[in-house]
Chain A
Amino acid sequence: MSHIKQIHNGSLERFLDLLLIAFIVFMTLKGGTSGACAACKFQRRRCAADCPLAPYFPAEQPKLFQNVHRLFGVRSIVKILEKLEEPQKPEAMKSIIFQSYVRDRSPVHGCLGVTQHLQYMVMLAEEELKAVNSQLQFYRSQQQQQNGQTQNQNHTHTQMMMHEIGDDKQQEDVTSQQLDLGMGLTVNNNHQNNGVTPFFSPLPVSEIQQQPQMSYTYSCSEVNHNGFSPPAYNTDSCKEILNNNANAWGGLNRFHYNNDNGFGNQNEINKSNNYGVMAIQSQLVNLQMASNHQQQEEEEDDNDYDEIHQFLEIIEDRQSYADSKEAYASSSGENLKEQIDEIGENELRSAATCFSLTSVN
C-alpha cells in the first residue's frame, strides 16, 4: 500500500514540475509576468498583439512611458506616429522618449535648456578657436619672417664676398660710409639691423627695418596690418567667421553667461602677452578635452540616439547651470522670453536645414 502511494506521489511531483516548467516557458515567451507593455500596464488595459506602443515601451521600463505620458499623452503620440512612415517611427519615438526624459529631469527648461547649453559650448569653442588661430597665425608669420631673414643673410654675405673681391672702389665707398656712421667692417653681415640701406638686399628697406621690432608681445592685429600673415588666417576672415556664426545663432548677447565667462574681453587677451594667452588657452583646452573625452570616444558611433544619450550626462550636470539661469530669469524675465523666441526661430531654421544631412549620414 505504501509502495503504491510512493509511486503515486512520484508521478504527481513529476507532473507538477512539468507544469511549472511549462508556465515559466510560457511567461518567458510572452515577455514578462503579465505580458503587457509598459503603456498598456500603466493604462491597465489589455495589450493586443498589434499594440503600436509595445515595441517602444518594454514592461521593464515603466518610467520611460510615465515620462512620455506626462508630457505628450498617449493620444498625441499615436497621432504623431500615424502621420509618419514605418521607417521613421522608431526614430520619432526615440526623440519623443528623449524629450520626455529631459522634461522630467528639467521641468522648467526642458530641451530648450539643453539647446542653450550646447549653443553656449559652441560659442566658447568658436571664441577659443579664434584666439588659437590668431596665435597660430602670429607664429606662422614669425617663422616665415625668420626663414626670410636667414635666406637674406646668406644672400647678403655671398654678395658681399663678391663685391669685396670684384670691385675695390665700391668696397672703399661702403667702408667709408660705415666708418662715417661709427661702425667697423666687422658688422658687414648685420647691415639690415643698423639702419643702413643695403643696396644689395633683395628685400625692401621698410620690411628689413621692421624686422627687429618683431617680438612675441606683438598682437595678432598688428601683425596682420604689417602684412606678415598668411591670407587664410587674417583677422578679417576670423571676424567674418565669428560674425556669421553670431548671426546664425542669433548673436552672442542672448547667452546669459556672456558677462560671467572670461571670453568677453577676448580682444584684450589678444593684445596682452601672448604667452599668457597660450597658457589660458591650453588650460581651457585641457579642461574641455577632459570633460568631453568620453564624448569623443563614443563619437564614432553613427547612431543618433546613442549620441543623444551622451547628453544625458550633460543634463545631469546641468543642475548648476539651471540654477544660474533661474537666477537670471528671476531678474529679467522679459529679456529671457524674447531671447527664447529668437532662439526658437533660429534653432528651428538651422535644425531644419542641418538635420536632413545628419539623418542621411
Chain B
Amino acid sequence: MSSNYTNSPCAACKFLRRRCTSDCVFAPYFPPEEPTKFANVHRIFGASNVSKILHEVAPHQREDAVNSLAYEAEARLKDPVYGCVGAISVLQRQVLRLQRELEDTNADLMRYASCLGGETTSAYGGRRG
C-alpha cells in the first residue's frame, strides 16, 4: 500500500514537484501508480485541505478518508453541479419507491392471505358437513 519512499516520490509529491520525505502524510495513500487519484482530489479540494483533514482523522481511518475524498472528487469532476450528492438523491428516490412498492405489495399479500384463509376454512367446513 505504502509507496516506495527511496525510489520514487508519492503521487502527491510528484504532482506538487516537491521532495517526498519519509514523513509525507500523502505517501501511504497516494501511490505513484495512481497519479489521477491525487490530481482529482487536489483539483477539487486542494492539497492543503486534504492534508488538514488527514491530520484531523485517526491514522487507522485515513485510508478510508482518502478513498471517500477521491470518490467525491471524481464525482464532482464528472458532474460539477451535483457531484456525489446526485447519487445520494437517486438512491434516496429509489429507496422511497421501493418502500412504497413494498407497502403496496404487503397490503396485497394481507388481502390475499385473509381472503384465502376464509375460503379455505369454508371449503373444509363444507366438506366436513
A residues sitting closer than 8 Å to B (CB atoms) are 70-73, 75-76, 80, 83-84, 88, 91-92, 95-96, 98-99, 103, 107-115, 118-119, 121-122, 125-126, 128-129, 132-133, 135-136, 139-140, 142-143, 146, 150, 190, 278, 281-282, 285, 288-289, 292, 295-296, 299, 304, 307-308, 310-311, 326, 329-330, 333-334, 336-337, 340-341, 343-344, 347-348, 350-352, 354-355, 358-359
Interface of B: prevailing SS: helix
* Across-interface contacts of B120 in A (CB, < 8 A): 146
Which of A71, A96, A114, A281 sits near B88, CB closer than 8 Å? Answer: A114
B:64-81 near A, CB below 8 Å:
64-65, 67-72, 74-76, 78-81
B56 within 8 A of A: yes
The distance from the CB of A281 to the nearest CB of chain B, in whole angstroms, is 7
Contact A108 B65 (CB under 8 A): yes
Stretch from B4-12, B18-26, B109-117 that touches the partner: B109-117
Q: Given contacts A72-B45, A308-B92, A358-B93, are A350 and B87 in contact (CB under 8 A)?
A: yes
Q: Which residue of B lies closest to A275 (CB)?
A: B113
The distance from the CB of B30 to the nearest CB of chain A, in whole angstroms, is 13
Which of B60, B63, B82, B112 sits near A91, CB closer than 8 Å? Answer: B82
Contact B80 A92 (CB under 8 A): yes
A–B pairs, 18, beta carbons within 8 Å: A70-B53, A80-B80, A91-B81, A92-B82, A103-B53, A108-B61, A110-B72, A112-B71, A114-B88, A115-B91, A132-B106, A132-B109, A140-B112, A281-B109, A292-B95, A292-B96, A307-B92, A351-B82
* Across-interface contacts of B46 in A (CB, < 8 A): 72-73, 75-76
